[in-house]
């Protein structure tokens, strides 16, 4: 059961970033405008999309898991601080805490590794 739970956990953590990356491609101009309205240069959007798609896929497949988990965990904390810092707004507070909870999951994944059913462990 442990091996199966590890891959389920990776899919649950990675899929949100995979979907977010695809959604940003589909709403590129709007996302870019939102980033700029929050003080983030819109020219960074391709890097964000690459991180979300590549990182999400890396987590799901268990490839370079520790590095992907560290990158996406840091991204989650940074984006919480930038985009969800209005803690007086209940929705923004929930989004802020959600990002920190996801970062906690990534920290655990970075420490524990991808597990048996992963590309990182394909030769074990």
Range of the domain at 93: 2-112
Per-10-residue mean pLDDT for the chain, 124 residues long?
92 97 98 98 98 98 97 98 96 98 97 94 75
Q: How many CB atoms lie within 10 A of CB 26?
A: 9
44: which 2 tokens? 């960074």
Task: Give domain status of residue 119, yes or no.
Answer: no
At residue 6, the pLDDT reads: 94
The verdict on residue 74 lying in a domain is yes
The answer to the question of residue 118 being in a domain is no
The predicted-structure confidence for 67-97, as pLDDT tens digits, reads as follows 999 999 999 999 999 999 999 999 999 999 9
Residue 41 lies in a domain: yes
Structural domain includes residue 120: no
Examine residue 124 and state whether it is found in any structural domain, yes or no. Answer: no
Task: Give how many domains the chain has, as a whole number.
Answer: 1
């Amino acid at each position: 059961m442990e091996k199966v739970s590890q891959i389920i956990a990776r899919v649950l953590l990675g899929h949100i970033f995979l979907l977010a990356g695809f959604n940003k491609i589909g709403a590129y101009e709007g996302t870019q405008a939102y980033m700029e309205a929050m003080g983030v240069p819109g020219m960074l959007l391709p890097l964000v999309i690459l991180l979300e798609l590549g990182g999400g896929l890396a987590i799901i497949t268990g490839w370079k898991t520790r590095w992907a988990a560290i990158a996406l965990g840091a991204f989650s904390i940074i984006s919480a601080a930038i985009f969800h810092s209005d803690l007086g707004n209940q929705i923004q507070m929930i989004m802020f805490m959600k990002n920190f909870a996801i970062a906690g999951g990534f920290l655990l994944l970075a420490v524990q590794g991808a597990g048996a059913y992963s590309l990182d462990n394909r030769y074990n």
